[in-house]
Amino acid sequence: MKKSKSFPILLVLVLLIVMYVSVVNARKSYERKNRAQSHHQQKGRSKGRKYAPDPDHFSSSAPAPAPSYGSYEPHKPIFDILSFGAKGDGVSDDSKAFLAAWKAACKAPGATVKLPSELKFLIKPITLQGPCMPHLTLQIDGTVIALPSPSAWSKSNLLQWINFKLLHDFTIQGTGTVDGQGSGWWDLSQTQYCTQKRSKHVPDIKPTALRFYASYNVTVRDIRIINSPLCHLKFDNSGLVKVNNITISSPENSPNTDGIHLQNTQDVEIQHSNIGCGDDCVSIQTGCSNIHVHHITCGPGHGISLGSLGKDKSLACVSNVIVENINIENALSGVRIKTWQGGLGSVRNVSFSSIQVSNVQTPIIIDQYYCDKKACKNHTQAVAISQVKYSQITGTYSVQPVHLACSDSVPCTDVNLVDIQLVRSLKSQGFRQPLCWNSYGESQAPLVPSSINCLQRGSLFKRTARSHEQYNTC
């Protein structure tokens, strides 16, 4: 009896528990749905805030969509400089807008800073600094111009115009132009600048146009860089650099306007580009290794150059350089290694191949007596040069086909000349015989003219050992 009495009570209790649990579950699931919906709405709202997305809204789990310019995608936000107050009229100072767009983009992963086409942005000397979120892109479709008058530049900021610093995974691209408006600076370099320099109060500095400092995995492609006051594109203390499909242009008589300058930078590929300027097409300085330069057209200018190295008895180290498939036209030199007397360190494992020259004064140069004045002091110490191979170097020269002037005390070793065919150009004025001074190595036919078969042979055991000592300081 007792049993049958308590049974309905138990049943009611169980029913109550089941009902409670199902109600709680339903509410939970309703809340979940609601949260998802409001998240969706927030995402939708952020679509309207095109130029100031909140990085918190980027979910990290979803795969990033493919980049597409023009239409906004939450994972590839575009920061148009115009939305940050730039005028783009070539007269107003757009530096602040550029910096503001940069700072906003820097915080968003995969962002693009955009300088739109058909507009001209006047930008004062500026530092665009990282670290930023990865995969930042600077899209230059318009024209960026520097202050045209040197006197308008701040004297404390003459090293470079646009300074890219501490960046990882960064790309500059676009169909636009970066114009350093350097003509005012070039004129200064002649008489006026030199006499002013003597007063010691006028700085002996001109700005590089684009400079990368302490950056890793950076790409520069497609853009044009023109009329820099000094060097056009410089990489300093950087690594994993790619330059592709760019154009560099300044007049033949613009002084010291190097095309691309590398210093203390490793793992570099420079390809498919067109460089014409007043100085070196590509200049490779101390601290560079694993450098690959290929499919480049150079000229006018001074050709591709390692150095100058070892100035003021400094230590210079350059190794593992490949330069191939290059066209050099109307240039002072073709491929060149230049060192100052008195330097330390080494240049080794360098290959120049498939170099087509046309009306180049001296296509092949090693100059260990480099000097920028009338005469420099003689020293016995020198940057040791070894394992340098020249192959398939063909075309026309105007003065001297080969000039290998190695140090009296530290000869060049393991130099190879293979398949060199050079004839005098029609514009040739003043011919000089090929020179091989203190240069040891092997030659392989065809060699035209035959007089370039001038390397000294021999094992040079003692001297090689000595130059190996110098490698160790690198």
Ligand X SMILES: *[C@@H]1O[C@H](CO)[C@@H](O)[C@H](O)[C@H]1NC(C)=O
Query: Shortest Cβ distance from residue 324 to ligand X (Å)?
Result: 11
Measured from each CB, the residue nearest to ligand X is: 320
To the query of whether residue 279 is one of the catalytic residues in this protein, the response is yes
The residue among 245 and 456 lying less far from ligand X, judged by its C-beta, is 245
Q: Are 142 and 88 in contact (CB under 8 A)?
A: yes
Token pair in block for residue 174 = 């676009």
Amino acid at 153: W
The residue among 171 and 249 lying less far from ligand X, judged by its C-beta, is 171
Active-site hit among 279, 280, 367, 414:
279
Query: Residue 263 in 3-state DSSP?
Result: strand
Query: Shortest Cβ distance from residue 193 to ligand X (Å)?
Result: 27
The residue among 243 and 417 lying less far from ligand X, judged by its C-beta, is 243
What angle (nearest 5°) sits at the alpha carbon of residue 292, between those of residues 287 and 298? 105
Active-site hit among 169, 302, 403, 414:
302
Nearest to 394 by CA among 332, 330, 334, 437: 334
Nearest to 323 by CA among 280, 359, 287: 280
Query: Residue 15 in 3-state DSSP?
Result: helix
Query: Shortest Cβ distance from residue 452 to ligand X (Å)?
Result: 23
CA 157/CA 280 separation, integer angstroms = 24
Q: Are 355 and 363 in contact (CB under 8 A)?
A: yes
Query: Shortest Cβ distance from residue 388 to ligand X (Å)?
Result: 11
Query: Shortest Cβ distance from residue 440 to ligand X (Å)?
Result: 18
Query: Shortest Cβ distance from residue 223 to ligand X (Å)?
Result: 7
Token pair in block for residue 175 = 């169909």
CA 292/CA 260 separation, integer angstroms = 13
Query: Shortest Cβ distance from residue 64 to ligand X (Å)?
Result: 11
Token pair in block for residue 368 = 């260990």
The residue among 10 and 375 lying less far from ligand X, judged by its C-beta, is 375
Nearest to 367 by CA among 468, 435, 298: 435
Give the largest Cα separation in the chain, rounded: 132
DSSP run (H or E) holding 420: strand 412-424
The residue among 171 and 228 lying less far from ligand X, judged by its C-beta, is 171
Query: Shortest Cβ distance from residue 222 to ligand X (Å)?
Result: 4
Q: Is the peptide bond before 67 cis (omega within 30 degrees of 0)?
A: no
Token pair in block for residue 325 = 């498939």
The residue among 67 and 446 lying less far from ligand X, judged by its C-beta, is 67
Q: What is the DSSP letter of 393?
A: E
From the centroid of its chain, how far is CA 415?
Answer: 29
Transcribe 328-372 into DSSP letters.
Answer: EESBSEEEEEEEETT-EEEEEEEEEEEEEEEEESEEEEEEEEE-S
The residue among 245 and 453 lying less far from ligand X, judged by its C-beta, is 245
Per CB under 6 A, residues contacting ligand X are 135, 169, 171, 175, 217, 222, 245, 290, 320, 322, 349, 375, 377-378, 408
Torsion angle in degrees (nearest 10) through CA of 310, 315, 321, 326: -20
The residue among 323 and 420 lying less far from ligand X, judged by its C-beta, is 323
Place of tokens 């290794």: 289
For residues 366-384, b (16+ Cβ closer than 10 Å) or e, as one string? Answer: bbbbbeeeeeeeeeeebbb
Active centre residues (catalytic): 279, 302
